Amino acid sequence: MRINWAEFYREIRECERCALYRGRLNVVPGEGNPRARLMLIGEGPGQQEDRMGRPFVGPSGELLTKMLHAIGLERSEVYICNIVKCRPPKNRNPEPEEAQACLPFLRMQVALVRPKIIVLLGKVACRWTLGEEISITRGHGVWHERKGVWFLPTFHPSALLRDPAKKADAWEDFQKLREKMRELEGEP
């Protein structure tokens, strides 16, 4: 079956594939430009995201928005989503069965948006997309190419809020991101 956005939203709004649906106020599917060249993937919705049904609208979202602005991007130009689309209780990391149950939705999003570049915000996003346990301290800013798509692991904005000393490294990652976007400009 060919997927489309209507089907995606219909399925995700009714989703009961893992236990997280029981605690949600809203599903947080993702948002942004459905044809974005850049996709950013976080971990899972927090309290404010759950209330609003939108990704990265709390404090870490504010920081993410600022970081995008710093490289000349508006949120509306990119596509932002998470590994899991329902809030894990007390903002814990998603359990493997929750991430696995939700991955088909992320695959649909990647297939529909067809981004050239995917920024992985933190370890959880790396684990479930690249299939690797990556230490962000060591592996941030290192490009991974898979089937013509460029993946860039970097710090989760919440980690930057907890430890502002990491912001300089994250800034360098975003400079690399800007360079790669320029390099790929004009490619179909």
Residues that bind ligand URA (CB under 6 A): 42-46, 49, 55-56, 58, 60-61, 82
CB of 82 to ligand URA, least distance (A): 5
CB of 60 to ligand URA, least distance (A): 5
CB of 96 to ligand URA, least distance (A): 17
Q: What's the DSSP call for residue 34? A: T
Indicate the residue among 163 and 183 with the shorter CB distance to ligand URA: 163
First vs last C-alpha separation in the chain:
25
Question: Structure tokens of 92?
Answer: 């814990």
CB of 44 to ligand URA, least distance (A): 6
CA distances from 105 to 29, 52, 169 (A): 8, 19, 31
**Shortest CA distance to 156 belongs to which of 54, 89, 82?**
82
∠ at Cα 163 (50, 90), nearest 5°? 30
Indicate the residue among 120 and 147 with the shorter CB distance to ligand URA: 120
Indicate the residue among 74 and 179 with the shorter CB distance to ligand URA: 74
Indicate the residue among 32 and 42 with the shorter CB distance to ligand URA: 42
Instruction: Say if CB 155 and CB 136 are below 8 A apart.
Output: yes
Residue with tokens 């790669």: 180
CB of 28 to ligand URA, least distance (A): 6
Nearest residue to ligand URA by CB is 42
C-alpha to C-alpha distance for 15 and 130, rounded to whole angstroms? 24
Indicate the residue among 17 and 87 with the shorter CB distance to ligand URA: 87
